[in-house]
Structure 1
Amino acid sequence: MTNDPATNYYVAEAMKPLANPDAQTLRVVKLADALGKLCSGASLNKKALYSYMTETGFADIKGKAYNEAAFLADTTFRYFDYRALAHLCAGSAYLFGPKGQLAPGLLKTGKGKPKASYDPDNPFVPLPPLARKS
């Protein structure tokens, strides 16, 4: 597996922006958080995350706009499985490393592989949905 979007389908898909900029912001935050938790040796850089959220206006996404953006962002993770996780862990430095192409510095990248081992009986990796605001 590589971190090159030309040869890594999952990295290429993560690089494609969503049509809704609010949904794109939520998707990037959710993806960085998931990779920080699920990739071996990786961790979320909370200072960089706060900076990213400030720059993108994360706090300004409210009410119905937030709920719609959260739905769209969650939809991109509907069929998230071990294969996608493994490829995204391999490409985490490309996406979120110090010179990351999606959001620089959001992750302190690790070994480029998932923490958990593959389970052939259940290859899907459940990610919690983004909280909805009322």
Structure 2
Amino acid sequence: MTNDPAANYYVAQAMKPLDNPDAQTLRVVKLASSLATLCSGASLNKKALYAYMTQTRFAEIKGKAYNEAAFLADSTFRYFDYRALAHLCAGSAYLFGPNGHLAPGLLKAGKGKPKMSYDPENPFITLPPLARRS
């Protein structure tokens, strides 16, 4: 596996911006935090995450706009499976490393592989949905 989007379909898909900028912000935050949790040795840079959230005005996404953005962001992870996770772990440095192309510095890249082992009986990985706001 590689972190080059030309050879890694999942990294290329993660690089494509969503039409809704609020949904894009939520998707980037969810992807970075998911990879920090699920990839071996990876960790979230909370200071960089806070800076990213401030820069993208994350706190200003409220009410119906937040709920619509959360729905769109969550829908990009609908069929998230072990194969997608493995490819995204391999490309995490490209996406979120110090010179990251999606959001620089959000993630300290680890070993480039998932923490869990592959389960052929259930390859899908359920990610918790973004909390809805009222």
Alignment TM-score, normalising by the size of structure 2: 1.00
AA paired with 1:79? Y
Q: Does 1:23 align with 2:37?
A: no
Tell me the distance in 2 between the aligned counterparts of 1:106 and 1:46: 7
How many matched pairs? 134
AA paired with 1:70? A
> Any residues of structure 2 matched to 1:1-134 within 5 Å, and which?
1-134=1-134
Tell me the distance in 1 between the aligned counterparts of 2:109 and 2:9: 20
Deviation, 1:9, is 0.1
Tell me the distance in 2 between the aligned counterparts of 1:43 and 1:117: 19
CA RMSD of aligned residues (A): 0.2
Tell me the distance in 2 between the aligned counterparts of 1:57 and 1:18: 16
Q: Percent identical across equivalent pairs?
A: 85
Tell me the distance in 2 between the aligned counterparts of 1:39 and 1:19: 28
Deviations 1:23-75 (A, max 9, x none): 00000000000000000000000000000000000000000000000000000
Runs of 5+ unmatched residues, structure 1: none
Deviations 1:66-112 (A, max 9, x none): 00000000000000000000000000000000000000000011000
Which portions of structure 1, spanning 4 or more consecutive aligned residues, are displaced by more than 3 angstroms? none
Tell me the distance in 1 between the aligned counterparts of 2:132 and 2:78: 16
Tell me the distance in 1 between the aligned counterparts of 2:45 and 2:119: 29
Runs of 5+ unmatched residues, structure 2: none
Alignment TM-score, normalising by the size of structure 1: 1.00
2:23 aligns to what SS in structure 1?
Answer: helix
Tell me the distance in 2 between the aligned counterparts of 1:18 and 1:72: 8
